[in-house]
Amino acid sequence: MTNKSSSLFFALAMLTGSAGSAAGADDPFKDTDCTKATVQIELDYCANRDFEAADKRLNVLYRTLFDRSDPKRRERLKAAERKWIVYRDRDCTEETAGSTGGSIAPMEYSVCLTEKTKARIRELERQRK
């Protein structure tokens, strides 16, 4: 989890009095229908949940590629992924700079992370073939 997304989760946990995981039993938003979310904190939560799902999918795909690779390719893949994460986080910080400090900022940042993560999934899926 990135610093901003972990900060978002911490803020949501503090606001709701929940320190459990986003999918945990203590999650006050677990029954939120994200297709009907209208309050900003719900929108923030749903955007972060979408990012976490995409990030999990990316990690599974990365691990599959890594495990099927020879040692030299593993090193290249690891280096590329580390650089990509830095790029993604910095680019999303820049893309959402206009909303920094505003109530919409966590949602915009999570949406950016999700879009970039889904694009990375498509890139790695092409490499898998």
pLDDT of residue 42: 92
- Count how many domains the chain has: 1
| pLDDT above 90 for 91 | yes
101: enclosing H helix or E strand: none
Helix, strand counts (H, E) of the chain: 4, 0
Domain CATH for 76? 1.20.1270.180
pLDDT of residue 30: 82
- The packing angle between helices 71-95 and 40-67, to 10°, is 160
User: Does any domain span residue 23?
Assistant: no
pLDDT digits (tens, 9 = 90+) for 21-49: 445 568 888 888 898 899 999 999 999 99
Domain extent, residue 106, equals 3-17+32-128
pLDDT digits (tens, 9 = 90+) for 39-76: 999 999 999 999 999 999 999 999 999 999 999 999 99
pLDDT of residue 2: 52
Q: Is residue 128 within 8 Å of residue 69, measured between CB atoms?
A: no
